[in-house]
């Protein structure tokens, strides 16, 4: 059965599962819920939540998951730390872009995947739509 992107609770659970961000008091789940509602797209008068977009944002903002990879020329990683979140975040944003196109979503201003990809890695040309990203991936 396909995932139901119209179910806010299921999308919230999916974000927590995919990001593995610890939520000891429920405050993270609450924040995820707000972000899912704010960034939701719409198609045919139906609201679709965007868990991969929100997951990418949460990883970018999660202080507990940020690591120092280099200091004064010495590279190090601590036990339990994530080594490099950029590929994960890029992948989540590209997956969300594909879903946005396949579902025909209208996305609220400021919540497009291209803006985050540009901020993260400069890997999306400014002014190019998410559908261009998806088409490039699908035709490569």
pLDDT digits (tens, 9 = 90+) for 84-135: 778 889 999 999 999 999 999 999 999 999 888 888 777 764 444 444 444 3
* Residue 2 or 52, more confident: 52
To the question of pTM greater than 0.85 for the whole model, the response is: no
pLDDT single digits (tens) 33-71: 999 999 999 999 999 999 999 999 999 887 654 455 555
**Residue 57 token pair:** 């944002």
**In the predicted structure, residue 138 carries a pLDDT above the cut 60:** no
């Amino acid at each position: 059965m396909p995932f139901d992107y119209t179910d806010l609770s299921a999308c919230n659970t999916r974000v927590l599962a995919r990001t593995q961000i610890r939520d000891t008091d429920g405050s993270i789940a609450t924040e995820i819920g707000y972000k899912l509602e704010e960034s939701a797209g719409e198609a045919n008068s139906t609201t679709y939540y965007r868990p991969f977009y929100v997951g990418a944002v949460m990883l970018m903002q999660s202080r507990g998951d940020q690591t120092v990879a280099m200091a004064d020329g010495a590279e190090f990683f601590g036990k339990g730390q994530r080594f490099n979140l950029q590929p994960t975040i890029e992948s989540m944003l590209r997956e969300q872009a594909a879903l946005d196109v396949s579902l025909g979503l209208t996305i609220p201003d400021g919540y497009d995947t291209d803006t985050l990809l540009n901020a993260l890695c400069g890997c999306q040309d400014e002014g190019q739509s998410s559908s261009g990203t998806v088409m490039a991936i699908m035709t490569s």
